[in-house]
Amino acid sequence: MPRGERPLDPEGGPVAEFAARLRKLRDEAGRPTYRELARRAHYSIATLSGAAAGHQLPTLAVTLAYVRACGGDEREWERIWRGAAARCTAGPPGADAERGADPAPAPYAGLVPFRQSDADTFFGREELTGQLVEHLREKRFLVLFGASGSGKSSVLCAGVLPRFSGTPALVLTPGPHPLEECAIQLAARAGLAPGSLHAELATDPRALHRVLRQILAGSAEPADEHLLVVDQFEEVFTLCRDPAEREAFVASLLHAAQTPDSRCRVVLAVRSDFYTHCTRLPGLVAALADAHVPVGPMTTDELRAAIVRPAARAGLTVEGALLATLVADAHGRPGALPLLSHALLETWHRRRGNALTLAGFQAAGGFEGALAQTAEAFHAGLSETQRHLTRRLFLRLVALGEGTEDTKRRVPRHELDDTADTAHVLEAATRARLLTVDRDHVEITHEALIRCWPRLGTWLGEDRDQLRLHRALTEATAVWESLDHDPDTLYRGVRLAAVKDIPRDALTARERAFRDASESAEKAAALRVRRQVRRLRRLVGALVVLLVCVATAVGFAVRSQRIVTAQRNHALALKAVDASAALRARDPSLATQLALAAHRLEPTETTRDGLLSVLPRTLDQHVHALAVSPDGRTLAAARDDGALRLWNLADPQHPAELGSLRGHPDSTFTLAFGPRGDTLAGVGRDRALRVWNVSDPRRPRLLSSVPTHHTDLIFSVAVSRDGRTAATGSYDRTVRLWNLSDPARPRFLSALTGHALNVKPVVFSPVGAVLASGSDDRTVRLWDVTDPRRATTTAVLEGHRDFVDALAWSRDGRTLLTGSDDRTARLWDVTDPAHPRPRGRLDGHTGMISSVEFAPDGRTPLTAGLDGTVRVWEAGRPRPVQRAALTGVSGGLATVLPLASPGTIVTLSNDATVEIWHTDLPWALAHACARVRDPLSRAQWSRHFPGLDYRPPCGRA
């Protein structure tokens, strides 16, 4: 007979009560033996019998296994276990349960970033701190990239700044007006007026350097240098809406760090998903080359130090099971540090004596649940009115992401209603460490709350479009108040109609006043218009009778004269355009003047295109393949003789050859730059994948040349946005993926099959792990290459009636442009790569489309075809509209690529000629005459424009 269980101690407290409930559950299940329970639960007999012995509270995992073996409700028992754990960790009766009354200072910071005063409790980041300090002592500019929650702010404030204890430091966050914030902070230290300093910073990037020198000169304590730390630098993109202010702020920071007599070291802390945003600022791109340092996840040893050493310093111990669980949960997760710190803080509140236990950690909600549990406890303690206000408050404190994660937003206190409920919610949220409130601003303590509080995620997901309208209304209200309620700043028309759908109780009193004033102003304007219309109708009625007679007599004569003149001008303009096209190759000076005169005579689409078509500049010849670097400033050209030539096209008017590499017996058919422009991949006739180092374009070096094992011609090559993967598309109907982590040793990853005929273009999306491939089977396939060794097809785009020869992604990765032998290009919405949708068709080419691209603005598609034309499109309308058509004289065009200079493109024609074109009409009108040697003579004018007064477009008449 099995031995019976020992009676439970009636004074055993919550542990004995919990064990009694487990025994009752076993009795209700028919009292199976512990051997049978062990077989069902996959735990030992001793572990399961010990769970119901009443000596100590079992772990949550053992409890759920016991319940599962007895057929109980796991969700209900998890709730019972958490209640018992909370009672066990609450301390003896009479202990103060209020966190605020805990006599010992907390050894963990929770969601709040470490400050400079916390340096003695900041552990685990010693190696990174040393790396940053060494970087700053050698260089004056540092950009710290890391995921949200990776500890950027903490390592700067508690790690780096204390190592520069004798150096004055200023830490600021940009907010919606970074120059104003900078002016306020500096003016307070320099004893200046912030208004005049702000105006000076906006107009002169050298002003920041001068005022920092002034602060150092007037400091009571002698110092040679100043540290300027800009935390949460991504706010210049998420909150600042003025590009001019953003660029002026960046220019000031760069000048302060880079000027020869600099006395300042500048540090930027940026979320890693805003790296591409930083590359759109030209000045910052150059500085990033040797200034950026990534912040990765903490190692296992670093995590142990961050967990154990603060506890040991406070005289506490960490249970081994808790340490193992925390390290396992946090290891390898870049954004886990605030969750770890908060979970430790909540576990500390539930400690047993001087021990932090796994039971206390699980009672707090676990790794991510601790933060959600704290937020839910805060929410549960509010009244219904206060909960509704809390929802509006937290939505107001989030800046919605545009292709990036949502971020926190600092809100001025005056933007919130001054009510008792608002004050209570702010106080409760601050006490729970969910919000940080100072005298002037309110903000979410850490962005981890946005990711880990499910209720807030639900609020944000319900109506993001309305949230964006509300955010714009808030900004418009602030402008209206700052201009003393100027009626010209009120909403009208479409904007007013859009915000009328926002519930009135979702607005603050200030916003309601702005919307009410806008509605009143619109009604008053409509009433004035109706009155004016009535008056005008009466006046018009009287005038019409008088004008009809005069107009009838004069109209016929004037109209006839205008028609004759217009027809003559039209015929002469078309004739001059045709003549300029024929003269372009042998007499570009005369061709330019004829095209310019034709456009001035009749400014139409035809004469515009004719003028743009006579202004290209020939850069090179005997070229097989082209590629332009991601910044649009460097051109790589593969020549017939196997040479690789690199050009600087930062100024397309003055291209400069940078360097070349010769000695390859095989010419390259296709080229592609890496994402940073420092590597170049290419494939030639021998079907070998070559990788060059072009970080110094004056001395390019061949790093590797490996056979691809394609069994037919390779049509294209592409490099992923992280530079780690390359793809080759071949006539053998496959796409092959290559590991370029080490460019000197490319490694084959996998072959993608699925196309029924030749694979031609391949191109990686600039956002996400998506690869597009086009084929002669008239389809485009989208591949998920998150794991390149096991890539899968996510969608197949169908619609073209002939071979697909060209592909291009928009800069935001939401639109795919395809070109085909069926003489059309198509736009596809691929915001969701698994469910792409057609957006429009681009018609106009009379030959197959051989190349497509997007201009750097991301909204202007470019197409080139065998009809010898490049067509520029406007895709931001309901239907794509052609904006310009450039006609070449050397046959079909094989490639079109945009350059960094606005409105400038480079083409490669089928006769191996490389030319630089301008698609901007104002530029053409302003610079056309620079190509003219001699003005049109009177004889030439009379020959091409008979009957018109002599007015040469270049030179005096």
Position 664 confidence tier, pLDDT thresholds 50, 70, 90 = low
Cα 831 to Cα 866: distance, rounded to the nearest angstrom: 31
Tell the residue number behind the tokens 């908060």, with chain if given: 342
Q: 277 near 271, Cβ under 8 Å?
A: no
Least confident of 9-23, 298-312, 810-824: 9-23
12 three-state secondary structure: coil
The total number of residues shown for the chain amounts to 957
* Residue 873 parent element (H or E): strand 869-874
Higher local confidence (pLDDT), 715 or 101: 715
Q: What residues contact residue 282 under an 8 Å CB cut-off, 6+ apart?
A: none
- What are the structure tokens assigned to 769, written together? 């792990």
The CA R_g of the chain, rounded to the nearest whole Å, is 35
106 versus 401: which is more confidently predicted? Answer: 106
pLDDT band at 119 (very low <50, low <70, confident <90, very high): confident
3-state secondary structure of 312: helix
3-state secondary structure at position 760: strand
Q: What angle do CA 259, 260, 265 make, to 5 degrees?
A: 60
Find, among 659, 776, 681, 661, the residue nearest to 725 by Cα.
681
Amino acid 861: pLDDT: 94
**695, 678 in Cβ contact below 8 A?**
yes
Alpha-carbon span 862 to 860, nearest angstrom:
7
Q: Which helix (H) or strand (E) holds 726?
A: strand 725-730
Percent of the chain whose pLDDT exceeds 70: 89
- What is the rounded CA–CA span in Å between residue 932 and residue 954? 7
Tokens encoding 481: 């108040």
Nearest one of 253, 228, 260 to 164, comparing CA atoms: 228
DSSP string, 635-652: EEEEETTS-EEEEE-SST
How far is the first Cα of the chain from the last one, in angstroms, to the nearest whole number? Answer: 123
Q: Per the structure block, which two tokens stand in for 703?
A: 């790093």
- Give the three-state DSSP class for 511: helix
> Do residues 424 and 431 touch, judged by C-beta distance below 8 A?
no
Q: Are 419 and 119 in contact (CB under 8 A)?
A: no
Reduced 3-state DSSP string for 737-757: EEECCCCCCCEEEEEECCCCC
Query: Global pTM?
Result: 0.46
Beta pairing class for 725-730 and 714-719: antiparallel
Question: Higher-confidence residue: 405 or 602?
Answer: 602
Reference 356, options 314, 299, 395; nearest CA is 314
pLDDT of residue 12: 63
Return the closest-CA partner of residue 124 out of 108, 111, 136.
108
- What pLDDT is stored for residue 881 in this prediction? 87
Residue with more model confidence, 740 or 2: 740
pLDDT tens digits for range 123-148 = 888 888 888 889 888 888 999 988 77
CA 499/CA 571 separation, integer angstroms:
52
Main-chain dihedrals φ then ψ at residue 308, nearest 5 degrees? -85, -45
Closest Cα to residue 471, out of 547, 411, 546, 551?
A: 411
- Beta-carbon contacts of residue 350 (< 8 Å; ≥ 6 apart): 85, 86, 89, 90, 357, 360, 361, 363, 364
Q: Which two tokens stand for residue 65?
A: 């296994």
Dihedral pair phi/psi, residue 550, rounded to 5°:
-65, -45
Q: Is the pLDDT of residue 100 over 50?
A: no
- The pLDDT value recorded for residue 553 is 56
What pLDDT is recorded for position 745?
94
pLDDT tens digits, one per residue of 546-586: 777 666 656 665 675 677 777 878 888 888 888 887 888 78
DSSP per-residue codes, 415-433: GS---HHHHHHHHHHHHTT
- pLDDT one-digit tens code per residue, 599-652: 888 888 888 888 888 888 889 988 889 999 999 999 999 988 888 999 999 999
CB 453 within 8 A of CB 459: no
pLDDT digits (tens, 9 = 90+) for 26-51: 888 888 988 888 888 777 787 788 88
Q: Which has the closest alpha carbon to 609: 599, 594, 601, 617?
A: 599
What pLDDT shows up at residue 494? 64
Question: pLDDT of 903-934, one tens digit each?
Answer: 899 999 888 889 999 988 888 888 888 888 88
Q: 780 with 804: CB under 8 angstroms?
A: yes
Q: What stretches of 29-118 show up as alpha helix (H) in DSSP?
A: 34-41, 45-51, 60-69, 74-89
Give the separation between CA 540 and CA 527, rounded to whole angstroms.
Answer: 20
Count of other CB atoms within 10 angstroms of residue 709: 14
- Report the alpha-carbon angle 343-347-349, nearest 5: 120
How far is the C-alpha of 292 from the C-alpha of 311, rounded, in Å? 33
Residue 91 is predicted with a pLDDT of: 45
Maximum mean pLDDT: which of 117-121, 231-235, 761-765: 761-765
Token digits of residue 163: 């190592």
What pLDDT shows up at residue 682? 93
Mean pLDDT throughout 467-486?
73
Is 80 exceeded by the pLDDT of residue 371?
Answer: no
Query: 372-399, pLDDT tens digit by residue?
Result: 777 777 888 888 888 888 888 888 888 7
Closest CA to 80 of 97, 48, 98, 58: 58
| pLDDT for residue 728 is more than 70 | yes
* pLDDT tens by residue, 236-251: 887 888 888 889 999 9
Nearest-angstrom CA–CA distance, 349 and 356: 9
What SS3 state is found at 396? helix
114-127: average pLDDT = 82
Quick check: 809 pLDDT over 90?
Answer: yes
Q: To which residue do tokens 């130090």 refer? A: 305
Least confident of 100-104, 329-333, 480-484, 691-695: 100-104
The crossing angle, in degrees rounded to 10, of helices 60-69 and 34-41 is: 110
More confident residue, 753 or 4: 753
CB 851 within 8 A of CB 819: yes
pLDDT tops 60 at residue 99: no
Looking at the predicted structure, is the pLDDT value of residue 858 above 70? yes
Whether 757 shows a pLDDT value over 70: the answer reads yes
Q: What per-residue confidence (pLDDT) applies to 289?
A: 80
Q: How far apart are CA 440 and CA 411, in angstroms?
A: 9
d(CA 150, CA 125): 11
The rounded distance, in Å, linking the Cα atoms of 409 and 396 is 8
State both tokens at 434: 């969910």
- Confidence (pLDDT) at 629: 93
**In whole angstroms, what is the distance from residue 48 CA to residue 58 CA?**
9
Residues 336/330, Cβ–Cβ less than 8 Å: yes
Structure tokens at 157: 């404030």
DSSP assignment letter at 116: G
